[in-house]
Amino acid sequence: MSCLSESLAAGQFVVTAEVAPPKGIDLAPVLGVAAKLQGVTAVNVTDNQGANMRMCALVLAGELQRHGIETVLQMTCRDRNRVALQSDLLGAAALGIENLLLLSGDHSKFGDHPDARPVFDLDAVQLLDVAVSLNRGIDMAGKPLTGAPRFFPGAAVNPAAEPFNLVLQKVRKKVDSGARFFQTQAVFTLAELERLSTAVTPLGVPVLAGILLVRSAKMARFLNANIPGMQVPDEVIARLEHAADPLAEGVAIARETVGWARGLCQGVHLMTLGYEERIPEILEM
């Protein structure tokens, strides 16, 4: 079993962070960042995040595993059909990767290759079904595998999305399809986290609250204008705008959100975007 799955099963409050593969072939900088992460159970490796082309996540995740760093491999349905998705999943298992975050993915039009043709042969719910089937030693065509993986598959949820009853409906579908944990998109208010926790607790699936380090009011406005599903509230923007040190205020806001999560969730997922050295401050009790 992975350390992540064991920690969640033991009721420990877990912390994950994330790194992005380079837009190029030099892995040294990102490996250096990952090696310095403190207090982190596992490291997410993003998959062409925001539909922006980068090195494939599988290569970086494999290198991190080789260096003794447990990973959560993100995999989106946007860029691959069902054959390629299954192929990459088996490749991940061969590299010792067990933790997965399975996503539909942002549409290509939002990324740096807006004319790229998206695939979406499967969606995130169907990909969860695939991972569970592979764990049983069977592919999508019903053919047996020579050796089966031991995936610990997770899924995403946006606690701020409306209407919330449709969000919860999708959450239940993902649980039925084999999601073993949930990672939320960035959370900014206690109310949305409380609502999600109340709704998901009866399902018995752990939730990691997504916490984004927003460094300035300008960054917040950019996120609101350009990132689908992202909405930094006006009160957060105001705090950043009036702060003498916006980065320090962003760290304080993230730390407050961790405090909420400690009482409502089973862990947090930190998105620090190049400011990984601030993670210990964010995790301070």
Domain of residue 47, CATH code: 3.20.20.220
pLDDT above 90 covers what percent of the chain?
89
Cα gap 138→119, rounded to integer Å: 23
**203 lies in some domain:** no
**176 lies in some domain:** no
By CB atoms closer than 10 A (0-12, 13-18, 19+), residue 68 is exposed
Q: Is the pLDDT of residue 285 over 80?
A: no
Range of weakest confidence among 38-42, 194-198, 204-208, 217-221: 38-42
Q: What is the residue-wise DSSP string for the chain?
A: --HHHHHHHTTPPEEEEEE---SSS--HHHHHHHHT--S-SEEEE-SSGGG---S-HHHHHHHHHHTT--EEEEEESSS--HHHHHHHHHHHHHTT--EEEEE----GGGSS-TTSPP--SS-HHHHHHHHHHHHTTB-TTSPBPSS----EEEEEE-TT-SSHHHHHHHHHHHHHTT--EEEEEEP--HHHHHHHHHHHGGGT--EEEEEE----HHHHHHHHHHSTT----HHHHHHHHH-SSHHHHHHHHHHHHHHHHHHHSSEEEEE-TT-GGGHHHHT--
Mean pLDDT of 110-120: 93
255 vs 38 pLDDT, higher one: 255
What pLDDT is stored for residue 226 in this prediction? 85
**71 lies in some domain:** yes
**178 lies in some domain:** no
Here the tokens at position 207 are 């939730």
What pLDDT is stored for residue 252 in this prediction? 97
**220 lies in some domain:** no
Mean pLDDT of 114-143: 97
**10 lies in some domain:** yes
**132 lies in some domain:** yes
Cα gap 67→13, rounded to integer Å: 24
Q: CA neighbours within 13 Å on the CB side: how many for 194?
A: 4
Report pLDDT digits (tens) over 141-176: 999 999 999 999 999 999 999 999 999 999 999 999
Q: How high does pLDDT run on average in the chain?
A: 95
Which residue is listed with tokens 């596992």?
A: 42
Q: Which amino acid is present at 283?
A: L
Report pLDDT digits (tens) over 271-284: 998 899 999 999 98
Q: Which domain holds residue 33?
A: 3-157
Q: Is the pLDDT of residue 238 over 90?
A: yes
**283 lies in some domain:** no
Confidence of residue 135 (pLDDT cuts 50, 70, 90): very high
The reported pTM is: 0.94
Confidence of residue 214 (pLDDT cuts 50, 70, 90): very high
Q: Is the pLDDT of residue 1 over 70?
A: no
Report pLDDT digits (tens) over 28-49: 999 999 988 888 999 999 999 9
What is the domain count for the chain?
1
What pLDDT is stored for residue 36 in this prediction? 86
By CB atoms closer than 10 A (0-12, 13-18, 19+), residue 230 is middle
